[in-house]
Amino acid sequence: MNVSKFIASRTYGSFRSSLIRNIIRISIISTSLSVCVMIVAGSVFEGFKSQIAAKVFGFWGHIHVTDLQVSRSIEPFQIRNADSVLQLIKTADFSRIGLSQDCITKMEPFVVLPAILSGNRGNEGVFLKGIPEHFDPGFMMSALKSGSWLDFKDSLFSRGVLISEQTTRKADLKAGDPLIGHFVLDGRIVKRKLTVAGTYRTGLEEYDRKFALVDIRLLQNLLGWKADEVTGIELFVKNIGDAGRINTFLYEEILPSNLYSETIRDKFPNIFEWLALQDINRSFILGLILLVCIINMVTTLLILILERTHMIGLLSALGMDTWSQRKIFIRYGVRILFQGILIGNLAGIGLCLIQWKWKIIKLSEADYYLDHAPVALNPFVWLVLSLIFFLVISISLLVPSWLVSRLKPVNALKFR
């Protein structure tokens, strides 16, 4: 028979002092609040990372293949015979780096060309990104605010332009309005009549201001390029964590020497560096919450030990060893901790679900890239945080329980 377990279960509910009962309740409540804040904070940090990264990857893919000279100029340097480059990538033996052949899910060519768009009330400089008909519009359709997606039905090319809300405000435009595109080609200015097909807002303000989407054939026609001549190819990978390995393999082993590949993390480092800083904030906040809860539980257990000093003296006189007595109080602490973690999880998960459903907490999209506080509904993250919380605090209970071994039976029996 486990004596310490039996005594702990029988005596936990027998604290007669209303003060001690209130202390236990306060300890459970404070532990619940700590766990609740931890769950919400962890979910929000994960939500920020996943949603902002998804926006960047949705707009640009995971890996870019371009001409070596593109990084040194805004001029459009073409990849000739893009179809042959696509075939090289498709037939690459990715098993050499321990990956399956379907590690790349999509490959989409694009053309980028600087232009000045003239609207009703002014001009706005942008980069026009030409996309093909088979471009996956899922992400951009979710960011569409007015108008419609580009129409690729015209046999020559579409004249529609998908521009950001920032650009429409500056140029006084709306979906359906005509505009003029000005292009500098070979030292001369070329104009094209275009139409605002729709407006979008991804929340990535600096990129929304700079880029607009058009039919890739429009830009190829302006540049006098063939259908298989593009400025770059976007690659989408199955597992984002493999993007670095795939990129290195393609550049060093597969692509011709005149082409260069880089991950979007390397191409646009600012956002990802900002996200990396959030990991530091998360660690600091979660560590602080854990420290506060440890102090709370240690203090509570010390109070319970003082309350049961007479019982300690009696058990010592009856011959119970010190470790068995310490386990009684550790069980008290674990029971309080378990109740607090259970209530905290229910409250924290409930708040996360409310924010996910109704988006009550709003943010400045210009500063945070999102218009609301995002939450990641990831049960695995919740479980890991709760287990770490439980294990660390349970181990910390060994420290105050050590006080039991310092009490002498004679003095403990006299204590009232």
Convert the pLDDT of each residue in 123-134 to its tens digit. Answer: 889 999 999 999
More confident residue, 403 or 331: 331
Question: In this structure, what is the dihedral angle of CA atoms 47, 52, 58, 60, given to the nearest 10 degrees?
Answer: -150
- Which pLDDT band holds residue 347 (cuts at 50, 70, 90)? very high
| 150 φ/ψ angles, rounded to the nearest 5 degrees | -60, 140
- pLDDT for 413 equals 58
Cα radius of gyration rounded to whole Å, the chain:
31
C-alpha 416/C-alpha 307 separation (Å) is 9
Query: CB atoms < 10 A from the CB of 320, how many?
Result: 16
121 touches 174 (CB < 8 A): no
Beta-strand relationship, 123-131 and 211-215: parallel
Q: What is the mean pLDDT of the chain?
A: 90
pTM recorded for the entire structure = 0.86
Q: Which residues contact 126 (CB under 8 A, 6 or more apart)?
A: 114, 115, 116, 117, 163, 167, 209, 210, 211, 212
Q: Which residues contact 89 (CB under 8 A, 6 or more apart)?
A: 65, 104, 107, 233, 235, 250, 254
pLDDT over threshold 80, residue 248: yes
- pLDDT for 82 equals 93
130 touches 218 (CB < 8 A): yes
pLDDT over threshold 90, residue 323: no
- pLDDT for 8 equals 85
Q: How far is CA 19 from CA 27, 304, 408, in A?
A: 12, 11, 26
Kindly state the tokens that stand for 249. 């393999």
Burial 133-147 (b: 16+ CB within 10 A, else e): eebeeeebeebbeeb
Determine the average pLDDT of the residues in 40-68. 91
pLDDT over threshold 80, residue 391: yes
Q: Which residues contact 407 (CB under 8 A, 6 or more apart)?
A: 309, 312, 313, 316
- pLDDT for 211 equals 94
